[in-house]
């Protein structure tokens, strides 16, 4: 139901992300300390939405961020780098 009351499908935007505030803050805290994180969970539990929101907030705070989507084919693998990287 794209554009509907409850978006379904891929990662949701920050406006549509419900809850998870405490978890997001704990991830930001751990990453800021240089720790690595692996998130695992059932399908559609919100892993990617949370990861993107964590990256968005870190970038907002001045961190360099990047994301790679390994589910895309290699030639079209998505690599998003903060423009400030270059």
Ligand X SMILES: Nc1ncnc2c1ncn2[C@@H]1O[C@H](COP(=O)(O)OP(=O)(O)OP(=O)(O)O)[C@@H](O)[C@H]1O
Report d(CA 50, CA 11) in Å as an integer. Answer: 8
H helix intervals, the chain: 21-32, 47-60
Report d(CA 3, CA 5) in Å as an integer. Answer: 7
CA angle 2, 51, 30 (to 5 degrees): 160
* Residue range at the interface with ligand X (CB under 6 A); choices 4-12, 27-35, 57-65, 77-85: 4-12
Among positions 37, 45, 68, 81, the unique one binding ligand X when judged by CB under 6 A: 45
State yes or no: residue 10 binds ligand X (CB under 6 A). Answer: yes
State yes or no: residue 49 binds ligand X (CB under 6 A). Answer: yes
Among positions 20, 28, 48, 59, the unique one binding Mg ion when judged by CB under 5 A: 48
Q: Given the rule CB under 6 A, which residues bind ligand X? A: 7-12, 16-20, 41, 43-49
């Amino acid at each position: 139901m794209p554009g509907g009351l409850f978006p379904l499908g891929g990662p949701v935007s920050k406006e549509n992300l419900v809850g998870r505030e405490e978890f997001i803050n704990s991830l930001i805290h751990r990453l800021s300390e240089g720790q690595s994180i692996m998130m695992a969970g059932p399908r559609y539990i919100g892993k990617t939405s949370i990861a993107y929101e964590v990256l968005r907030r870190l970038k907002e705070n001045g961190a360099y961020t990047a994301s790679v989507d390994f589910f895309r084919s290699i030639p079209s693998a998505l690599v998003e780098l903060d423009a400030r990287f270059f």
